[in-house]
Amino acid sequence: MQRYAKSLAVVLGLCLIAAVGLRAEEYHIGSDDVLEISFWQDPSLNTQVRVGQDGKITLDIIGQIDVAGKTTRELAQEIVRKMSRFNQQISQAVVRVVQFNHNFVYVTGQVRGGGKLTFEEIPNLWNIINE
């Protein structure tokens, strides 16, 4: 019985890891999100940038990029494609959303922590109340 419980825990843990990875991959970048962009080939290019209201970011070497609606993987591929024109050593970029700001709700009234709450994806009402 104990062996079964351990096996079940391992399987559930792997499912959770897969689900979290899938959700992060499906997230579409929006205005006011904060992105961390890193290049292991040249860490001096690493940067953190906020997406503008127009859905664009500006990177030093390549200029303005339209990022709204793209996944982190799509954006990383576009950045590598554009960066490699200026620096052929750049073959990989990692884009990570550090702050999810375009999915938000305002909570007011007699609540523990009112105000603006941001989410990776808008949850149901019960989860918002529990926040």
Which domains, and CATH codes, for the chain? 1-99 (3.30.1950.10)
5 has pLDDT over 60: no
- Tell me, what's the pLDDT at 120? 66
User: What are the two backbone dihedrals, phi and then psi, of residue 63, each rounded to the nearest 5 degrees?
Assistant: 85, -145
Provide the H-helix boundaries in the chain: 2-26, 72-83, 125-130
- Tell me, what's the pLDDT at 13? 45
DSSP per residue, 40-51 = TT-GGG-EEEEP
**68-112 residue pLDDT tens:** 999 999 999 999 999 999 989 999 999 999 998 876 677 777 777
* Kind plus residue range of the DSSP H or E element containing 97: strand 94-99
Q: Output the pTM of the full model.
A: 0.66
State the average pLDDT for the chain.
Answer: 80
| CA 126 to centroid of chain Cα atoms | 24
- Tell me, what's the pLDDT at 9? 43
Q: In angstroms, rounded to a whole number, what is the distance separating the alpha carbons of residues 56 and 100?
A: 15
Specify the 3-state DSSP secondary structure of 67: coil
